[in-house]
């Protein structure tokens, strides 16, 4: 498996994450495809960094340039994951590695979290493959969403 290098996001990373979240192909894969205004994103981003229930990591390439992010929103014993990569980083195992490494980090850091949950559109084969390749298993499905889970027991 490709190794992902993750680092915690900082206040200086707001614009990087905003560009990733607003990329056309990322917006199409999102449950809310509406473009995000930069000022609103900056407020959201800085709130997330200060919120103890969010973990946000940048995914770095071998030159240590950001090529994506992995975010975890913690609620009780679960953490919901969101991921976005640049087009150039996709299809090489980077997403799968970042998903697994980030999930293991959150499970290791937060004892109360027993599972990481991903929600993916059924037609998003690339994301479904990345999550399955990272060790997530399907926990439920309907016409709008596939829910995948990586539990502490799977780590």
pLDDT per residue over 12-43, tens digit each? 999 999 999 988 888 788 888 888 899 999 99
**pLDDT of the residue at 146:** 97
Structure confidence at residue 139 as a pLDDT band (50, 70, 90): very high
Residue 115 near residue 150 (C-beta atoms within 8 A): yes
* Chain-centre distance for alpha carbon 71: 4
List, in order of start, the domains of the chain with CATH numbers: 5-154 (3.40.630.30)
pTM of this structure:
0.92
pLDDT at 1: 57
């Amino acid at each position: 498996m490709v190794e992902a290098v993750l680092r915690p996001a900082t206040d200086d990373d707001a614009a990087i994450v905003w560009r990733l979240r607003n990329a056309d192909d990322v917006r199409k894969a999102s449950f809310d495809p509406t473009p995000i205004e930069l000022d609103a994103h900056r407020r959201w981003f800085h709130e997330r960094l200060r919120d103890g229930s969010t973990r946000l990591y940048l995914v770095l390439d071998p030159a240590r340039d950001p090529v994506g992010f992995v975010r975890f929103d913690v609620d009780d014993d679960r953490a919901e994951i969101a991921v976005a990569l640049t087009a150039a980083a996709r299809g090489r195992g980077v997403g799968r590695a970042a998903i697994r490494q980030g999930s293991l980090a959150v499970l290791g850091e937060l004892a109360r979290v027993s599972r990481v949950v991903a929600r993916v559109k059924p037609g998003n084969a690339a994301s479904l493959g990345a999550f399955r390749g990272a060790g997530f298993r399907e926990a439920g499905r309907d016409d709008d969403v596939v829910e995948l889970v990586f539990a502490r027991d799977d780590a």
